[in-house]
Amino acid sequence: MNAKSDIAPNPTLEEFRKVVRSRRSVRRFTDEPVPDHVLDDCLDLAMLAPNSSNLQPWEFFVVRTPALKAKLAEACLGQNAAKTAPVLIVIVARTDTWRRHSRMALEQWPEEKLPGIVEKYYSKIAPIHYNQGPFGLFGVAKKAAGLVVGLTRPVPRGPYSPNEMKIWATKSTALAAENLMLALRAHGYDSCPMEGFDECRVRKLLKLPEKGLVTMVVAAGKRSEKGVYNQQYRFDKAELVHYL
């Protein structure tokens, strides 16, 4: 890896501000398609999102086929965003890929020399940290050990159960979803993240993996003239931001 590639460029704050402030949850789209190169670039940028241990516990299912998209829009409760968008992207968090991705992290290490600490983490620490064992029993044992050790020093608190693994995977996947939506806006397109959907129908329709958790469905395209329903507002920052 070229060391120069790790030097952060000087970003343009005002351009970034435009992207963030102009991103809205668009409810109606035109029928203009999203070009392949734009969609590919947005997905590339989505996958650059920060994520836990670089295990990238996400998958993106891009739905553009009209018949399938219509069925998916129905599973999204017939929302206007789903019905009018030229593309729907189902973003799935995976709790069961960490083993394979740990191996891939070692096999695809981008530098000539693999640091010992990296090899130790993915080959020894990760298999303990993320493994819950049969019926979650190993997770219970880890939680008990963590409670004891935590009496004298800071320790990682979880994930200790399959449900905590869902939270773990969803946090990283949500970051990727945000990257995707900001990338679409930077390209001049818009999006709408939807949590209103019948997950059972979405899973069946797309034949999703058993342990995949549908985090959200993102509608993408060009906003129509009346695509934004209301003026944007946020609660008073003093209620939500605390300086300690």
Chain-centroid distance of CA 207 in Å reads 19
Per-residue pLDDT of the chain (244 residues; tens, 9 = 90+): 455 556 777 889 999 999 999 999 999 999 999 999 999 999 999 999 999 999 999 999 999 999 999 999 999 999 999 999 999 999 999 999 999 999 999 999 999 999 999 999 999 999 999 999 999 999 999 999 999 999 999 988 889 999 999 999 999 999 999 999 999 999 999 999 999 999 999 999 999 999 999 999 999 999 999 999 999 999 999 999 999 9
Whether residue 36 lies inside any domain: the answer is yes
Q: What's the CATH code of the domain at 213?
A: 3.40.109.10
Q: What's the pLDDT score for residue 1?
A: 47
Whether residue 84 lies inside any domain: the answer is yes
Whether residue 7 lies inside any domain: the answer is no
Classify residue 133 as exposed, middle or buried by CB count within 10 Å of its CB (0-12, 13-18, 19+): exposed
Q: What's the pLDDT score for residue 8?
A: 76
Whether residue 49 lies inside any domain: the answer is yes
Residues 33, 179 contacting (CB under 8 angstroms): no
Q: What's the pLDDT score for residue 9?
A: 79
4, 29, 83, 222, 240 from 75: Cα distances, Å: 47, 18, 10, 22, 34
Whether residue 18 lies inside any domain: the answer is no
Whether residue 122 lies inside any domain: the answer is no
Q: What's the pLDDT score for residue 10?
A: 82
For residue 238, give every residue at least 6 positions away whose Cβ sits within 8 Å of its Cβ, in sequence order, or none: none
Cβ neighbours, 10 Å, residue 152: 7
Q: What's the pLDDT score for residue 7?
A: 73
Whether residue 47 lies inside any domain: the answer is yes
Residues 35, 43 contacting (CB under 8 angstroms): no
Total domain count for the chain?
1
Q: What's the pLDDT score for residue 2?
A: 53
Is the pTM above the cut of 0.85? yes
Q: Which domain holds residue 157?
A: 24-97+132-228
Whether residue 123 lies inside any domain: the answer is no
Q: What's the pLDDT score for residue 16?
A: 95
